[in-house]
Amino acid sequence: MQETTVNLSVPGNDLMSGLVGENDHLLRQIEGAFPGASIHVRGNRITIEGEQADTVRRVFDELVLLMERGLPIDIRTLDRAIDMVRAYERPSEVLTTEILRTARGKPVRPRSTGQKRYVDAVTDNIITFAIGPAGTGKSWLAVALAVRALKAGEVERIVLTRPLVEAGERVGFLPGDLMAKVDPYLRPLYDALFDMLDVETGQKLLDRGQVEVAPLAFMRGRTLNNSFVILDEAQNTTPEQMKMFLTRLGFGSRVVVTGDVSQIDVPGGRSGLVDLEETLSGISGLEFVRLSARDVVRHRIVQDIVEAYDGAGG
């Protein structure tokens, strides 16, 4: 590969300081990611030499765009931006998309191209299926989009549901009434909801019925109008349960179905999520989004674990 030299000028001292980081720690991170490139900074001018000079230039260009759009650069953002540029993706078009702000004022944004595709699919369709491994933000983003739709008046309520594959004798031994027994299995959905809203606001919505969290069995016989409905852990539905759920959809509603086909616990292994895309192909207003290890937004080791299992066929 031919060595090249490229130059770029960064507009403004504030952008340059944010680009290289305190004590140049972000600049060192970029140099570590591209050992074949030599980077020289003088004033507001950056010179890049080496075989990977063009790629490094694209990284800097994208980082400048991110900062100009109000997104500060930290180690995690830089790491993800580098990965996206290497894959010929545009972090400036993905990482600046804001869904809403949590109760603590933290912006909720897609963190990968796959997640951005997921968010766009939910926005553009009536039913969206998000299939991918743990850590890809399937449930988190779905709840964020549901809260945004409720706040905007697009729906009148949110319904969060999960199949209860563990609802055998172990649930029976738990204390309390039925909801107290199944509450531990629905807790991840409560946690996501209370992350988007403060606990007091979330509890008020639950008390008023504007947010409902219930086992999938509670959906039978109902018609869900003007609702944002999320079916989580859908790999643990049976085909009959999946059909039952999808036919609950009423007018003015939107549905998001999330699942990980590598973690099927449904008795007999007959998952309602497997082969569903083939069954429902060609239906307008319905889209399948497949997320991968590249969309994992937890600790990098989680992405490595997912890729290891994928490579082993597990």
Do 106 and 79 fall into the same domain?
no
Only one residue has tokens 């027994």, namely 181
Do 25 and 139 fall into the same domain?
no
Do 90 and 109 fall into the same domain?
no
Do 9 and 55 fall into the same domain?
yes
How confident is the model at residue 228, as a pLDDT?
97
Kindly tell me the burial class for residue 1, based on how many C-beta atoms sit within 10 Å of its own C-beta (0-12, 13-18, 19 or more).
exposed
Do 289 and 177 fall into the same domain?
yes
Domain that holds residue 281: 102-312
Do 77 and 129 fall into the same domain?
no
CATH assignment at residue 142:
3.40.50.300
The percentage of residues in the chain with a pLDDT greater than 70, rounded to a whole number, is 87
Phi, then psi, of 250 in degrees rounded to 5: -110, -165
Residue 250: half-sphere exposure toward Cβ, Cα within 13 Å: 13
Do 114 and 84 fall into the same domain?
no
Residue pair 180/170 in contact by the 8 Å Cβ criterion: no
How confident is the model at residue 265, as a pLDDT?
86
Residue pair 289/120 in contact by the 8 Å Cβ criterion: no
How confident is the model at residue 171, as a pLDDT?
45
Residue pair 50/38 in contact by the 8 Å Cβ criterion: yes
How confident is the model at residue 179, as a pLDDT?
55
Do 283 and 250 fall into the same domain?
yes
Residues linked to residue 39 through DSSP beta bridges, in sequence order:
48
How confident is the model at residue 172, as a pLDDT?
46
How confident is the model at residue 296, as a pLDDT?
86
Do 23 and 131 fall into the same domain?
no
Which pLDDT tens digit goes with each residue over 147-161? 999 999 999 999 999
**Which segments of the chain does DSSP mark as H helices, in order?**
13-20, 25-33, 53-68, 75-86, 91-94, 113-124, 138-151, 169-172, 178-196, 199-208, 239-246, 276-280, 300-312
| Pick from 129, 91, 87: nearest CA to 111 | 91
Tally of domains in the chain:
2
How confident is the model at residue 166, as a pLDDT?
53
Q: What residues in the chain have per-residue pLDDT under 50?
A: 167-177
CATH assignment at residue 64:
3.30.1370.10
How confident is the model at residue 139, as a pLDDT?
92
How confident is the model at residue 169, as a pLDDT?
36
